[in-house]
A and B are shown apart, each in its own frame.
Chain A
């Protein structure tokens, strides 16, 4: 058991330079689980006919896959671009400048650890000083390594944040709303009576709450969007 747990933990090896990639992978995994839960919940929805589900459930799943795929591709490219940028910056620096920057970063870190809300113990701060600054007051080799790792890792984290913002706030609404519009059109094309006839009210929270007696309403985007998105968000 312990051996299995160890090999499982080993798979999450967090390389210091790959902080952005880890954030991307975890967020994408969360999105996959959320999309899967939403699809399962939609497939088990008792208020939708089996015939409608045949079309609506795969449409919801495809929208989810497109959304996650685009988010992953976009974020991966941004992370790689920023990480390469950080690598170029470090490569182009001469030894003196790298040493100065590493020292500045070490001093900032020590200051942060001594003053912030979660103040570290004296033992910790003295260990920090011994690791990062040598007797001559210059940055140690370890401090230079840490600065280089953190710069590349930080650039990746910035890329992951940019990807998360663009993916969830720009790409997702576009994919969701446009696909919902086409799903609605397709449903109306297959069932022309839906354009004039009333449709199921279950998906519209306003109708359920305010007027339970009014049983049907025209199929609309919000019906589809609420059908495929049951609020599961990881």
Chain B
């Protein structure tokens, strides 16, 4: 009896274990299939536009900021409204507070992305240009006597800045984008408080006045 029970437990255990294993395997297979199909689609897409995609390699954080802010001002604001409406519907809200809030947030999102882009682009571009100029000046001395350690880091192949102008420029541009992009984040920690916040608040006020005029009047009336 004991051995029979042990046998049953063992079989059940094994079948349970196998079940879990097969579920894990199925999930892994599904993940791999998804990954595989994504990579296949990516390969097909790249095969159709190889020149355009290779051309993107030259883009820096400046382009990323423009793309990000542009989409945030339009798609982001629309998403705020859509999420607000969905929550209000799902929660069966009667006073429409969430709907109203999402409108205010949508205006705020748009103001933030428009206001933030101006300073963001200027600071990023400035830092990248400055970093490229400084690293370029240092890198040009690579291989010469008394050259700094930075020169050997940014120009390890010791390209001549005139003879190998193209390769030297490629190398320095890459370093400039990376180091300048990082420096821009530090600079923006300061410019954010000094420029962004007041400018975004000003823009938010102007946009709210225009877009939410009726709501403001209603709020003032209710307050009275």
Contacts and interface: CB of A to CB of B under 8 A. Distances in A.
Interface of A: 2-3, 5-6, 9-10, 12-14, 16, 19, 22-23, 26-27, 29-30, 33-34, 37, 81-82, 84-86, 88-89, 92, 101, 104-105, 108, 121, 123-124, 127-128, 131-132, 142, 146-147, 149-151, 153-155, 157-158, 160-161, 164-165, 168-170, 172-174, 176-178, 180-181, 204-207, 209-211, 213-214, 218, 220-222, 225-226, 229-234
Contacts of A154: 52-57
Contacts, number: 251
Contacts of A9: 135, 150, 153-154, 175, 179
B171 to A, nearest CB: 9
A233 B108 contact: no
B1 interface: no
Given A12-B178, A149-B57, A178-B87, A85 B189 contact: no
B47 A27 contact: no
Given A16-B174, A27-B64, A205-B208, 10 more contacts: A86-B42, A104-B51, A127-B165, A165-B68, A169-B79, A178-B87, A211-B220, A220-B98, A222-B100, A232-B192
Contacts of B137: none
Contacts of B204: 205
Contacts of A168: 68, 71-72, 76
- Shortest beta-carbon contacts, A-B, top 10: A85-B42, A154-B56, A153-B57, A214-B223, A221-B101, A14-B178, A169-B75, A173-B79, A222-B101, A6-B149
B98 A89 contact: no
Contact of A6 (B51, B84, B148, B175): B148
B89 interface: no
Nearest to B98: A221
Size band of the interface chain B makes with A: 35 or more
Given A14-B175, A158-B53, A222-B105, A169 B71 contact: yes
Given A9-B179, A131-B164, A231-B196, A85 B39 contact: yes
Interface string B191-216: 01100110011001100100010011
B76 A209 contact: no
B153 A6 contact: yes
A221 B64 contact: no
